[in-house]
Structure 1
Amino acid sequence: MIPWEQLDSAAIPGSGERLRLKRRGTEYSIMLGTNELMNSRLSGSEEALASLAVEALRERQRPHLLIGGLGMGFTLRAALAATPPEATITVAELVPAVIAWARGPMAELFDGCLADWRVTLLEGDVLAMIRRPDAAFDAILLDVDNGPEGLSRPDNNALYDPRGLASAKNALRSGGVLAVWSAAPDSSFTHRLQRAGFQVKEARVKAHRGKSGARHVIWLAVKP
């Protein structure tokens, strides 16, 4: 078996943790300690995060999406494939090295999507963009942790607590959707979304596109 090779590591702003980019043949992995945050062979649920959110917006001709977390680009590519030409997509990535990896060793995975005219890639905290007074999105897609808690850094807990959910709701247009990815179910988060005034659906999706195996969770929370 081909051994894993570590290509780079990078500090997470606001955290003592580091991300590690690893490669084995054509397979890539981004690790946080012993936790694998993403793997290039497991893209199904990240793609579903985008496709399910866009499906909820199918009547909108010019949707504006905010994606929290660039990752390996699977959510972004799926969003580009599902949205109309008039859509705009803003991607917020906190870790500068992840952007560099997307344009460097993982460029083949991104397949040129960062050059799409609909895409604006910003280095920074997605929560700060959600809290901007002029924020007006049709969808907010969050895949910055392994679930609705601050795994990559403690400050991310503010995305999922009642105040954070209220900010997300305020940043959405009427009928807009907050979509959150998770490796596992969390009934308490479902209840927090409901208490925040969202209409909530919980989808179980395959981690590996087209194959059996692990399933991940996507919450689709619609602003009435």
Structure 2
Amino acid sequence: MLPREEIATAQIPGGDTLTLVSHGRDFIIMLGRDELMGTRMQFSEEQLAQLTLERLDVPGPRLLIGGYGMGFTYRAALEHLPEGGSVIVAEVVPGILEWAKGPLADLTGESLSDPRGEVVLADVAALIDDAVDGTTPLFDAILLDVDNGPDGIVREGNERLYTRTGIARMRDALKPGGIIAIWSAAPDHKFTGRLRDAQLDVEVRTVRARPNNKGPHHTIWFARRR
């Protein structure tokens, strides 16, 4: 069995420590003993972007992604982005971006220099508030790969995104017909109810972690503003 090798650590603001480890040719981001994401199971994070863009029928869509992680969702968004579109990614952990430029540079490729996208050190909730308050334009889609879903384990402050108030703020940061797309490691029927209570049209999809229809089942919500 191949051993795991610790590559680097990164401090979560107001939270615990993330660890980047290698396992043969693969990389994994760990929180304690929990695997948050890894290069062997990235398909569902890529589907978060691809399936959202398939559901948008607008010219030059403006996307907000909460959480960079290993950049799976971001790179998939760039790959499938229609002409004139743009993507902004909010990431709160500085070390994550350092890893993207360092030990994960081969994975990152040229995505961080793509003129259609921007990765900023910020809380995604703050960028949502800016759109609601009119400081920045509204979004066509907000994609959240923050924590492990509504029952987050990484950062206490993330939980507010999934409350009734947080859902309402995301809804109000969207253009009419815009989509909130949320990735989760597990289903959550109560969260589905909160989305519907916010007067959103909700679709729930189950996606496998690997493209060969193997690996864990993950959940993606697509909630459209009327």
Q: 1:47 matched to which residue of 2?
A: 46
1:138 to 137, 140, 145: 140
Q: 1:78 matched to which residue of 2?
A: 76
TM-score if structure 2 supplies the norm length? 0.95
Q: CA deviation at 1:209?
A: 1.5
| Alignment partners' CA distance in 2, 1:214 and 1:61 | 34
Q: 1:109 matched to which residue of 2?
A: 107
Q: 2:58 matched to which residue of 1?
A: 60
Q: 2:203 matched to which residue of 1?
A: 201
Q: 2:9 matched to which residue of 1?
A: 9
| Alignment partners' CA distance in 2, 1:25 and 1:131 | 42
Structural mapping, 1:93-172, within 5 Å: 93-132=91-130, 133-134=133-134, 135=136, 136-172=138-174
1:61-106 deviations in Å (ceiling 9; x for gaps)? 1100000110111111111111113111000000000000001100
| Alignment partners' CA distance in 2, 1:186 and 1:222 | 18
What SS does the corresponding residue of 1:204 show, helix, strand or coil? strand
| Alignment partners' CA distance in 1, 2:110 and 2:83 | 16
Look up the equivalent residue of 1:35 and give its one-letter code.
Answer: D
| Alignment partners' CA distance in 2, 1:117 and 1:169 | 27
Look up the equivalent residue of 1:106 and give its one-letter code.
Answer: L
Q: Which stretch shows the higher mean deviation, 173-182 or 77-86?
A: 77-86
1:201-222 deviations in Å (ceiling 9; x for gaps)? 0000110122323210000000
What SS does the corresponding residue of 1:157 show, helix, strand or coil? helix
Aligned partners of 1:19 and 1:31 also within 8 Å: yes
Consecutive unaligned residues of structure 2, counting only runs of 5 or more, are: none
Aligned partners of 1:96 and 1:123 also within 8 Å: yes
1:192 aligns with 2:190: no
Query: What's the C-alpha RMSD, in Å, of the aligned pairs?
Result: 1.0
Consecutive unaligned residues of structure 1, counting only runs of 5 or more, are: none
Q: 1:25 matched to which residue of 2?
A: 24
Aligned partners of 2:45 and 2:183 also within 8 Å: yes
| Alignment partners' CA distance in 2, 1:150 and 1:41 | 22
| Alignment partners' CA distance in 1, 2:98 and 2:33 | 23
Give the aligned length.
222
What SS does the corresponding residue of 1:48 show, helix, strand or coil? helix
1:33-52 deviations in Å (ceiling 9; x for gaps)? 12111011101100110011
